[in-house]
Amino acid sequence: MTDLDATELKLAAARTRLILDKPFLGALVLRLPMAAAKADWCPTTATDARKFYYNAEYIDQLSVEQTQFMLAHEALHCALSHFARRQHRINHRWDLACDFAINPLLLEEGLKPPPNAQIMDQYKGMTAEEIYPLIENKEDMDTLDKHVYDKENEAGGGQQRDQKESEFNKKTRQEDTEDQNKGDQPSASADISEQGQDAGDGEHQPPPLSNAEQETLAIQWQQRMAGAAQQAMQAGKMGGSLARMIDHLLQPQLPWRMLLARYMTTVARNDFSYMRPSRREGDAILPSLRSSQIELVVALDTSGSIKNVEIAGFLAEINSLKGQMRAKITLIPCDAKIPEAAPWIYEPWEEFVIPDSLSGGGGTDFRPVFEWVDSEHLQPALLVYFTDAQGSFPELEPNFPVIWLVKGKSPVPWGQRIQLN
């Protein structure tokens, strides 16, 4: 049997060290009340985005440093809203992708992982959405912790969740009000555990989150993450990959298809016509926007980091928009150079599809595309480049608009950047 008081003391010590040494992670951990859990459902640790559940015997086997890792691991699941981002993805594979995304961040912060922590160096700096399609052959792997916020983790329970939804939202609003009254600063001396009625045995597995609970908690955790990041930056202890990911997630984001359509339709309706209207319109001649055929250049990064299925989805979106604006499109694939068979030209009435001879897989250099456009003396209304933005850019910005549709978090030196994920 484990001494529960000693376990709570270790958790308190680990949390205090995080607050002092890693203020960002410490502030997030303080937002998760700790609760001992029954061993039959929680062999290590778990979270439902509301509490940190732990198996006392498991925590007893860890060092204080490894306990810090587990506390921060669960807190990041919550702060990054992994409980609300799965959408259509397979539950277990999504859970693995989330762990692969979090653990390298914690390693970079200097935290020590416990045994059996899932760590893959090739996924460093990637989001769970980017990792998910890359782990199709890892279904037999297990996550270190248990994610009990998803509906697929427990059969049934829907009616019970609906009955508790109103009570949950009321409690959440009350907690937010209390935080504001306290200056939104949680106390480091807050109770370590919320044991429930049967403290000795621990808590039962909580029901999964309803859709309304997911939405409410996602907003709440984003606010907490922003506040924790601000505190850490003021203390001068916020940087590296974790800071870049947090900055990326806090940026307001719209679906890339909506943004791409907005920019493309804008350039397609940028000319005025003074043509005399029908007599039914009256005698006055007023300027009106007209949409004539426009020239678009679409460039594809074929260096190997972009999957064929992603390219197909991108081209399908361009094809859909092309028909709405009478666009003539020049397609230029490029890795470190443009293939001999390229470019391909599509008239407004032709379907925009992937050519059979599309090839690539080498390095990444964006300059050949812009050099070709310049050599042909083209003046496109817009150039759209689909890429991960990891390559050599031209030193000078061209005199036509450029949109970079970027997979990943790499910056671009000029032009309009649209986040693909």
User: Do 234 and 277 have their domain in common?
Assistant: no
Question: What is the rounded CA–CA span in Å between residue 177 and residue 179?
Answer: 5
Q: For the chain, how many residues are written?
A: 421
The residue from 227, 250, 273 where one domain ends is 250
User: Do 195 and 330 have their domain in common?
Assistant: no
User: Do 265 and 403 have their domain in common?
Assistant: yes
Q: What is the domain count for the chain?
A: 2
User: Do 164 and 270 have their domain in common?
Assistant: no
User: Do 233 and 292 have their domain in common?
Assistant: no
Residue 275 maps to which CATH number? 3.40.50
User: Do 304 and 359 have their domain in common?
Assistant: yes
Query: What is the residue type of 98?
Result: C
User: Do 415 and 364 have their domain in common?
Assistant: yes
Q: What is the DSSP-derived secondary structure letter of residue 192? A: S
At 347, list the tokens: 């008239």
The residue from 195, 226, 250 where one domain ends is 250
The residue from 195, 230, 250 where one domain ends is 250
User: Do 270 and 335 have their domain in common?
Assistant: yes
User: Do 59 and 191 have their domain in common?
Assistant: yes
Q: Write down the residue that tokens 């109770």 correspond to.
A: 191
For 63-86, the three-class secondary structure string (H helix, E strand, C coil) is: CHHHHHHHHHHHHHHHHCCHHHCC
User: Do 149 and 263 have their domain in common?
Assistant: no
Question: What is the rounded CA–CA span in Å between residue 223 and residue 221?
Answer: 5
Give the structural domain span for 396: 256-419
User: Do 156 and 244 have their domain in common?
Assistant: yes
DSSP result, 309-328: HHHHHHHHHHHHHHHHHTEE
User: Do 173 and 273 have their domain in common?
Assistant: no
Cβ neighbours, 10 Å, residue 41: 18
Written as tens digits, the pLDDT of the chain (421 aa) is 457 788 999 999 999 999 999 989 999 999 999 999 999 999 999 999 999 999 999 999 999 999 999 999 999 999 989 998 888 888 889 999 999 999 988 998 899 999 888 888 888 878 888 888 888 776 678 888 999 887 654 433 333 334 444 454 455 555 555 554 554 454 444 445 444 334 447 899 999 888 889 889 988 988 888 888 877 777 776 666 666 666 655 554 556 667 677 776 666 554 444 444 444 445 554 454 444 678 889 998 887 767 777 777 777 777 777 766 777 889 998 888 898 888 899 888 887 777 766 666 667 899 999 999 999 999 988 898 988 888 999 999 999 989 898 887 788 999 988 877 5
